[in-house]
Copies of this chain bind each other. A is one copy, B any other.
Amino acid sequence: METTIQKTSRSPITQKEYPLPKQADDQAGIDQFLSLHPGKKVVVVQGLGFVGSVMGLVVANALTEEYAVIGIDLPTPASYWKICSINEGVFPVLASDPKISLYYENARKKQNYYATYDSYVYSKADVIVVDINLDVKKQSSEGTEPEDYSVDLTPFKKAIESIGTNCKPDVLVLVETTVPPGTSEKIVKPILEECLLKRGLSKDELKVGHSYERVMPGPKYIDSIQNFYRVFAGTDETSALAVETFLKTVIRTDEYPLTRLGNTNATEMAKVLENSFRAMNIAFMVEWSRFAEEAGVDIYEVVNAIRLRPTHKNIMLPGLGVGGYCLTKDPLLASWAKMNLFGSTERLHQSEKGVQINDKMPLYAFEFLQSQYPGPLVGKKVLLLGVSYLNDVGDTRYTPVEGFYDQLEIEGAAIVLHDPHVLYWEEKDVWVNQDLDKLLEQEYDLIAITTGHKEYRNNPDLLDKLFQQSASFIYDTIGVLTNEEIRLLSSKHTVKVIGRGDL
């Protein structure tokens, strides 16, 4: 939204503003931190986003070893505040998981988690965990046709170069970023080796591995890293063993044994494959959901009946769309890699198609609304219940609510937002309300449930307040309303549910 160049970085948590440093000159800070931890292995986590900042926390609270942990990110308006925040005692990620603050307090006590922006830090690292983003650029929200998205590896390669220019020759570089399959072998390792050779150092002791995280922001944030299955591989035997040794100190591998795969292509493929499986199965339900609307069928009761079969437990429910950082892009990373890193002439058509279908879901949800709503939406007062893409979590990255919101705005509706987990919707630069009771003291023309937060499910108080609205149109895009609730509300309002025909 900003067009002028920002010279500061503002914390969305404390609102504190930090002037950006003019040079990367944190050598003293790094040396001072390390002087507190003589003899300890140094783990550097590259990237302080949703994964890296918490991965750093988990390593600082390792199970069987004491590490000196340093997180590094860029001194940009978007990231610099995280560095300051970690060092000042405010963890930069808000989460409902109580373990987050527990782990952070513990790290503060032990003074073993520092953050910096100075790549000098790589020269001190025994292990470097790569947790930076690797994005797909979609040309339009419409599509993922061959020409409609692109993968630009430049920022990722630059980050790897900054490691290679500084690292010890025997460092272990563990890539956790979701990358196009082939990246560790064909990009990361060659870049690091070239950098070492340029510096007149041997490349023989370098260790490169890949092990993807399965981080799930929310009430089990820490557990999704520390108490969960992990897949790993090395670019050679020594690297694989080094990765295994490191992960065993950090992850509860007695309960969740590690799975070693044959090569890093395999682990990289596993990550994008599992996310493509998920994205695909959501896309699959889109067409069936429309069929249900046509045939007077309640797709939710159908899916719940099918899920009783163990072989069909993973069948998905329909909804407003797909959000988050993974499912919206990982199938594309995979298809891109197939063509560009392995020279295949065949794309992963079906997986790309899955993303394309999912990307269109919010638009479909809006069109379905238009087809059912009596009259135009201009000037109508609309309450959206939920902004996050995920139930019971405040994460707005690529939330499908955005596409739906945009359409309502284009039509000229007056939109009010509620989300118990989102204070400020960064991508849209708007504030979000938390007080549902107060919001419902006013009247709305349209109330749409757009996230499946527990506050909107089986909540008699909410039901009562919805019922008291004078003559509303209630639109459940997620299928949280039960049959009884729909029946009750329908006696006074118009109620429409995605994936449910009029019975």
A151 to chain B, nearest CB (A): 16
**B residues in contact with A291, CB < 8 Å:** 181, 269, 334, 338, 342, 344, 348
**B residues in contact with A261, CB < 8 Å:** 298, 301-302, 305
Q: Quick check: B314 and A312 within 8 Å, CB to CB?
A: yes
Task: Kindly state whether residue A173 has any CB partner on chain B within 8 Å.
Answer: no
Q: Quick check: B181 and A287 within 8 Å, CB to CB?
A: no
Given A305-B231, A314-B311, residue A350 in contact with residue B351 (CB < 8 A): no
Q: Quick check: A297 and B314 within 8 Å, CB to CB?
A: no
Given A277-B315, A291-B338, A344-B291, residue A270 in contact with residue B231 (CB < 8 A): no
Q: Quick check: B349 and A296 within 8 Å, CB to CB?
A: no
Stretch at the interface among A20-28, A161-169, A278-286: A278-286
Bound complex: CA A287 to CA B344 (Å): 11
**B residues in contact with A292, CB < 8 Å:** 266, 269
**Residue count of chain A within 8 Å CB distance of chain B:** 59
Task: Kindly state whether residue A259 has any CB partner on chain B within 8 Å.
Answer: yes
Given A288-B348, A291-B338, A291-B344, residue A302 in contact with residue B273 (CB < 8 A): yes
Bound complex: CA A296 to CA B304 (Å): 39
A61 to chain B, nearest CB (A): 24
**B residues in contact with A97, CB < 8 Å:** none
Task: Kindly state whether residue A309 has any CB partner on chain B within 8 Å.
Answer: yes
**B residues in contact with A156, CB < 8 Å:** none
Q: Quick check: A309 and B274 within 8 Å, CB to CB?
A: yes
**B residues in contact with A305, CB < 8 Å:** 229, 231, 259, 261, 270
Task: Kindly state whether residue A439 has any CB partner on chain B within 8 Å.
Answer: no
Q: Quick check: B278 and A311 within 8 Å, CB to CB?
A: yes
Q: Quick check: A298 and B266 within 8 Å, CB to CB?
A: yes
Bound complex: CA A182 to CA B294 (Å): 11
Task: Kindly state whether residue A353 has any CB partner on chain B within 8 Å.
Answer: yes
Most buried by B among A278, A306, A349, A351: A306
Task: Kindly state whether residue A290 has any CB partner on chain B within 8 Å.
Answer: yes
Q: Quick check: B229 and A295 within 8 Å, CB to CB?
A: no
Q: Quick check: A263 and B503 within 8 Å, CB to CB?
A: yes
**B residues in contact with A302, CB < 8 Å:** 261, 266, 269-270, 273
A288-B351, A311-B314 given; name 20 further pairs at CB < 8 Å.
A181-B295, A182-B295, A229-B305, A231-B305, A259-B304, A259-B305, A259-B308, A262-B298, A263-B503, A266-B295, A266-B301, A269-B297, A274-B306, A277-B284, A277-B306, A284-B350, A287-B348, A287-B349, A288-B348, A295-B342
What 3 pairs across the A-B complex have the smallest Cβ distances?
A314-B314, A259-B305, A266-B297
- Residues of chain A having any CB pair with chain B under 8 Å: 181-182, 214, 229, 231, 259, 261-263, 265-266, 269-270, 273-274, 276-278, 280-281, 283-284, 287-288, 290-292, 294-298, 301-306, 308-315, 334, 338, 342-344, 346, 348-351, 353, 357, 503
Return 13 A-B CB contacts under 8 Å, by A number: A229-B309, A261-B298, A265-B297, A266-B292, A269-B295, A270-B306, A273-B302, A274-B315, A277-B284, A278-B312, A280-B284, A311-B314, A350-B357
